[in-house]
Chain A
């Protein structure tokens, strides 16, 4: 027999109460784990999304620059446009390595499997320049050329969702008759869900001849981003948005939601801590006579304190393990909820699981146990045998 087995047997005496306390801890640790993993996952995914654009700066029409940039990154339509002359002016700025135009449009298309109307994003691009922007792009089939007509590429997720393979001819919609010449290899970002067509074809189909939604710019030297941005903003109607700015704005938005979640988690932890303290208080008060007996048969104050502490730690460690495992198992549900709450969320998994995070949550549950148990352990260890046998502690 040892103090842990004694503690476990004591806890099993009041199974229902022990279970409820363990669940209280589990919920608190689960919320803590989810939030921390989301926080780090969100930043990682956002970084990835920004990098996957391949550009350092976006040129967007003057207006709401960050909203426009977010829409462009994620896929969306803004009602203002840039022109071919804006593109030329940007290309002439020294420090610009590559400036490639894009026309982004949204259209509604019936899902070929479910038959439901769904919004789709089409991107008109200059394929040669775009490949320079995204050198990691691979394709099943082939890329189109800029001069081809009635051809398109689609993202892997979209192809899988609609069961589209190379050679598929669109039966309806704005791209009716367009042949899918290639399916992009999975990128893990927004490109997986887009339709890509030559820029001229997009301008023709959507009747936006000579118009551009945005220009993605790659600079020669990343240290010159601010100078290039300043030069770009001298062009009327052009607003430069750097990826750092977009990221900062998004993180600020996410930060407010995160503060709210932090408050929720703090409340959950406090409630859980009071639950543990209350359970232990009841448990200790009920057993003062038992502690008196234990002292009479040779237990020191330290032995009593160790028994109470072992019980507390057992509750919190088991709660911590259940909470962490529960959070990992239910991470997709939590992610879905968070994606609905946050104003902007990157695509891909927001939950970043790491051994450090798991260890942190388990250590946190131990610390929670120590904090909650120390008072009771101290109080019960200080009892004299007769005090304990006669009465109780408050």
Chain B
């Protein structure tokens, strides 16, 4: 069963009398443990799709099932719960709280989910994102890559089933971008489902499936799982971990 399944999604934004079709009859599904990338030119509807998939925005029409639950017509309070239990978000701008340390930023979702925020769990997440020794630093004292790692840690703390990332490397240099993608690949190998919107084709090709959007429509879906480069990368990462 798909962890996320969208059928005939349409999203229209209205600006005065003008109607802007951000998404046009999009069908989209993701299986558990899949690593999916979405690419496309600016204005193609990538972020709109990600926001609808993440229940941050509601589609104008169509249906979206998250973990078998139909989200269409759900109240905001129920959507909050659904998001909290299933989805972790990573944004291009990081959106870290500047007065909270890396550790506290990671801990923040636990305040809202009222889950037990024991220290060891936060330590584990810090370790996982490679910031074990930077937990007490404020965002202003961290590099862009480190801030994005904190944001990824924050997305992971509630044990989500899916991570949605919107241009997670958009503000980072290429070396740091590569490291962030490696982190995503590692998380995926641990069984986490990932959907990533990006402009960076090289990075997008590291996913198992790559969707291309243009003018609000999916124009192609490439299965990259068997591509040689991808296999090489997986083997390389497994060697590194061993």
Contact = CB atoms under 8 A, between A and B. Distances in A.
Contacts of A296: 54, 56, 83, 89, 91
B89 to A, nearest CB: 4
Interface in A1-27: 1-3, 6, 9-10, 12-13
Contacts of A292: 56, 95
B155 A297 contact: yes
B89 A13 contact: no
Interface in B42-69: 51, 54, 56-57
Contacts of B107: 1
A385 B117 contact: no
Nearest to A384: B76
Contacts of A9: 97, 99-100
Contacts of A301: 76-77, 80
A interface secondary structure, majority? helix
Contact of B80 (A2, A290, A298): A298
A155 to B, nearest CB: 61
A92 B155 CA distance: 97
Interface centre among B54, B84, B111 (most CB of A within 10 A): B111
A215 B157 CA distance: 87
A296 B54 CA distance: 9
B112 A10 contact: no
Contacts of B83: 296, 298
Q: How large is the interface on B (under 10, 10 to 19, 20 to 34, 35 or more residues)?
A: 20 to 34
Nearest to B89: A296
B112 to A, nearest CB: 4
A293 B158 contact: no
A15 to B, nearest CB: 11
Contacts of A295: 56, 80
A81 B200 CA distance: 106
A102 B77 CA distance: 82
A74 interface: no
A296 B113 CA distance: 12
Contacts of A87: none
Contacts of B89: 293, 296-297
A300 B112 contact: yes
Contact of B113 (A1, A298, A385, A386): A298
A386 B56 CA distance: 6
16 contacts: A3-B111, A6-B111, A9-B99, A9-B100, A10-B99, A12-B99, A13-B99, A292-B56, A294-B112, A295-B80, A296-B56, A296-B91, A297-B88, A298-B158, A300-B112, A384-B56
Interface of A: 1-3, 6, 9-10, 12-13, 289-290, 292-301, 303, 384-386, 389
